[in-house]
Amino acid sequence: MIFDCDNTMGLPNKDVDDGLTLMYLIGNNNIDLLGVTTTFGNSNIEDVFTTTTKLFRDLNITNIPLKKGAAQDYDRRSEAARFLVDMVNKYPNEITILATGSLSNLYGAYLLDSDFYKKVKKIVLMGGLTEPLIINCKNLNELNFSVDSEASHNVLHSGAKVTTMTGHICLQAEFKKEEYERLMDNKDIPSYIYIREHSYGWFEHFRALFNTEGFFNWDIVAAVYITNPELFNENPKPIVSTVKDLETGFLRVDENSEKENIVNIPTVIKNVELFNELIFEAWKNV
């Protein structure tokens, strides 16, 4: 697997979900993480790469390559894109790509190798909306597909086996006060302490913004789908989104289309309690 992310865990008022997802992947014994590629989204590429470099250093990750993607509105043929091409050529039809930020690196890989998508086993995304995302009467804009709509269009219409976790299903993965209390009560597990220290600011910030008792662990939903697909329903839909649609992250479904462009859009986490248990167990191993 390769994790393509816009990690900002630890930056003031920035989301922590990519960092929590990386820790889940590292702690999961069923994942062979070949590399991490960084992209923009939660912040600019410099912030993301610097923050992820620090996370690698903090967690003593020395055996996993970390590659920097292109900046927004720049040539997408980046170091990260070249790494993606090299890996799928080395392991054709074996690699799953988990992408949780802008999709610029994947589009860059395609620009470098027009057969890129044919060599990928599957692509799992976090992004997109099929309807407005409302949290306590407040609208939350889509922030992954929309930040590089041209790249998103390229990936969603690539012909690859694509699954995406929209913001709607991620609302079922709320990291509530009870989950934080579990972190607080485990003072002897170093990874729990690290997560608590590097995510509590976001917990408080999100609570103030949306009047919630927690935040939504968006990206980790896509990661758990990779490791435990049985926890989700399958929901293949014909997607006909234009680049303009994707400027707001809108996934336009047309059941009357010829259904050549099918994207799996799960809508249900079947067992949220088990979902959370899998996450905490993996974190414990970091």
d(CA 216, CA 71): 26
Q: Give mean pLDDT, residues 168-181.
A: 87
Q: Tens digit of pLDDT for each residue in 92-118?
A: 999 999 999 999 999 999 999 999 999
The domains found in the chain, sorted by start residue, are 2-284 (3.90.245.10)
The distance in angstroms from the start CA to the end CA of the chain is 18
Residue 175 has pLDDT above 80, yes or no: yes
pLDDT band at 76 (very low <50, low <70, confident <90, very high): very high
Q: Give mean pLDDT, residues 141-167.
A: 96
pLDDT band at 169 (very low <50, low <70, confident <90, very high): very high
Q: Give mean pLDDT, residues 238-243.
A: 96
Residue 74 has pLDDT above 90, yes or no: no
- Alpha-helical (H) ranges within 131-231 are 149-156, 167-170, 177-185, 190-210, 218-227
Q: Give mean pLDDT, residues 55-71.
A: 97
Q: Tens digit of pLDDT for each residue in 207-217?
A: 888 988 878 88
Q: Give mean pLDDT, residues 196-223.
A: 88
Residue 2 — φ and ψ, nearest 5°?
-125, 135
Distances (CA, A) of 256 to 240, 259, 277: 10, 8, 40
pLDDT at 177: 80
Q: Tens digit of pLDDT for each residue in 18-56?
A: 999 999 999 999 999 999 999 999 999 999 999 999 999
Residue 163 — φ and ψ, nearest 5°?
-125, 135
CB neighbour class for 127 (10 Å; exposed up to 12, middle 13-18, buried from 19): buried
201, two tokens: 């600011």
Q: Where are the beta strands (DSSP E) in the chain?
A: 2-5, 35-38, 66-68, 96-99, 122-126, 134-135, 138-139, 162-165, 174-176, 214-216, 236-238, 262-264
Q: What percent of the chain has pLDDT over 70?
A: 99
66-68 and 138-139: which strand pairing?
unpaired
Q: Tens digit of pLDDT for each residue in 118-150?
A: 999 999 999 999 999 999 888 999 999 999 999
Helix (H, G, I), strand (E, B) or coil at 211: coil
d(CA 229, CA 23): 19
pLDDT at 262: 94
pLDDT band at 201 (very low <50, low <70, confident <90, very high): confident
Write down the pTM of the prediction: 0.96
| Residue 213 near residue 176 (C-beta atoms within 8 A) | yes
Average pLDDT, the chain: 94
Q: Tens digit of pLDDT for each residue in 255-282?
A: 887 667 899 999 999 999 999 999 999 9
